[in-house]
Amino acid sequence: MILYPTIELMNGHCVSLVRGQIEEPAIWHVDPVAKAQEFAHAGAEWMQVTDFDAVKGSTSNRDLVLRIIRGAGIPVQLGGGFRSRDRIEEWIDLGAGRIIVGTLATQNPHLVKELASRHPDQIVLAVDVLKGQVMIDGWRTQSAYTAEGFLDSYADTPFAAVIVTDVGADVGSGDASLGMISALAERTQLPVIASGIVRTLDDISRLRLLGEVSGAIVGRALFNKTIDLGEALKQARPGRAHVAEFI
C-alpha cells in the first residue's frame, strides 16, 4: 500500500480541516517546501498537495505550489479547484504528477473521461462522501450523486486512481468509514486511495489488511505528530526491501 503524505495549503500556510470546515482551518507554522522535502527524505514515493484557495478560485498559492513540485524530489498529486481543461493541462505541463478532479467530474463527465484517456496515469477521480452523497465545491455542496452511482458512472474510465474521502470521519465511527471505503473499493477495478481515515499506525494496518485499498492519504496526523512518517511507511509496506540511493 502506498502512502501519500499530504500538504494542504491556505494563504500560503500548511493547514488541516476539522470536520471538513474550510472556514476554520488549523494552521501549522512550518515551511511547506521544507515539509515536502522532509516527506521525500523519509522515503515517501508520492505526496499530495491540496490548494484550498484554488478551490475558491484564487491563484495566490501558485508560486508556492510550483516550488513544492520542483523541490520535493518526489511526484506530486495535486488537487484544488480543477474546473477546466486549460488549468488541468497547464499544471500537467508544469510538472504535476497527477491532477485530482472532483467537482468537474459531476459537471462535465464527457470532458473528464476525455482528459483521463488523453493523459493516462495522470488524472485521479475524487469521491468525497458525506452521508452517502458525493460532496463538491470543497465539500460545501451536496451533489445529486450517491457515492456508488458516481463511481459506477466512471466504470470504464482509465483514471490513475480514485480517492475516496469520508468527509464526516472526524465525527463518525472509524469502522463505518472503513466499511464505506472498502465497499466502494470493491465496486471498481481502479486503485483506490483512502482519505480522511488515518489517524494512527493501527489505521494503516487495518487498511492494508483489507486488501482492496491500494493507498492512503495521511495529513493532519503527520503535523500533530500522532504518526511518524517513517514508521507509517514501514507499516504500509512491511515487506519492502530498502532501496539504496545512487548519486
Angle at 174 between CA 171 and CA 179, to 5 degrees: 120
Contact in structure between 195 and 168 (CB atoms under 8 Å): no
User: Is there a contact between 140 and 164 (Cβ–Cβ < 8 Å)?
Assistant: no
**Segments of the chain with pLDDT less than 70:** 18-23, 170-174, 239-247
Instruction: Provide the whole-model pTM.
Output: 0.91
Provide the residue type at 90 as one letter. Answer: E
| Domain architecture of the chain: domains with CATH | 2-236 (3.20.20.70)
DSSP state of 102: S
The grid cell for 206 is: 487495518
C-alpha to C-alpha distances, 148 to 81, 141, 191, nearest whole angstrom: 23, 18, 16
Which residues are the active-site residues? Answer: 8, 128
| pLDDT recorded at residue 66 | 98
pLDDT at 136: 87
**Which of 239, 234, 194 lies closest to 218 in space, CA to CA?**
194
Strands annotated E in 118-175: 123-130, 133-136, 141-146, 161-166
The SS3 of residue 83 is: coil
Residue 169: its pLDDT value, please? 73
pLDDT for 210: 81
CB-based contact 15:9 (threshold 8 Å): yes
| Spatial distance between the Cα atoms of 84 and 190, rounded to a whole number of angstroms | 23
Q: What sign does the CA torsion over 87, 88, 93, 99 have? A: positive
